[in-house]
Amino acid sequence: MSLSIIESCVNCWACLDVCPSDAIYEDKPHFMIDAKKCTECEGDFADPQCASICPIEGAILDAAGLALNPPGSLTGIPPEMMDKAMAEIQAR
């Protein structure tokens, strides 16, 4: 089982050094996780360290494709409130 990093990653480098398995690497256009190396931190930490430190909601997915930090989980802004604000901004 492995986590994955998707295109919303902003290449901030925060996750690179916290991975106990050296599974994360810099790539274009964003950082990636080597599925052969990722252990989901089992045996080392209670939580996936990359997702724990990642500042971007939705940038890291679990093996089922679900975001480890779903919308609103880091900002505290309910997704529906964010959608409404974005719609208002785009309507200007």
Residue ranges in contact with ligand SF4 by CB under 6 A: 3, 5, 9-15, 18-21, 23-24, 31, 33, 38-41, 48-50, 53-54, 56, 59-60
CB of 90 to ligand SF4, least distance (A): 24
82: its two tokens: 């964010």
Please report where in the chains the tokens 């409130």 appear, as a residue: 81
43: Cα separation from own chain's centroid: 21
Q: How far is the CB of 22 from ligand SF4 (least distance, A)?
A: 8
Is the CB of 67 or the CB of 82 nearer to ligand SF4?
A: 67
Can you tell me the distance from the alpha carbon of 34 to that of 73, in angstroms, rounded to the nearest whole number? 25
